[in-house]
């Protein structure tokens, strides 16, 4: 299936391997935004997480802000 602004690139075995998306055409598309968000989530899934309170306290200390705000 061909879509304007969408290009598939095949690997040496002839399988679709890469997808190029014309962002001028599809950049303001909610489904594309959701797809890109999911890629980012997948890429970061093994990164450590921190409780919000810990991040806020660390940033308050770094910026010399009051801790009871």
pLDDT tens for each residue of 8-67: 999 999 999 998 989 888 888 898 889 889 999 999 999 999 999 999 999 999 998 876
Q: Name residue, tokens 């980012």.
A: 40
CA 29/CA 4 separation, integer angstroms: 14
Comparing CA positions, the residue from 16, 11, 22 lying closest to residue 1 is 16
DSSP state of 60: H
């Amino acid at each position: 299936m061909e879509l304007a602004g969408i290009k598939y690139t095949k690997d040496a075995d002839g399988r679709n391997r890469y997808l190029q998306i014309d962002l001028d055409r599809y950049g303001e598309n909610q489904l594309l935004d959701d797809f890109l968000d999911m890629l980012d989530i997948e890429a970061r899934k093994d990164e450590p997480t921190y409780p919000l309170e810990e991040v806020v306290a660390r940033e308050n200390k770094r910026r010399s802000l009051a801790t009871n705000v």
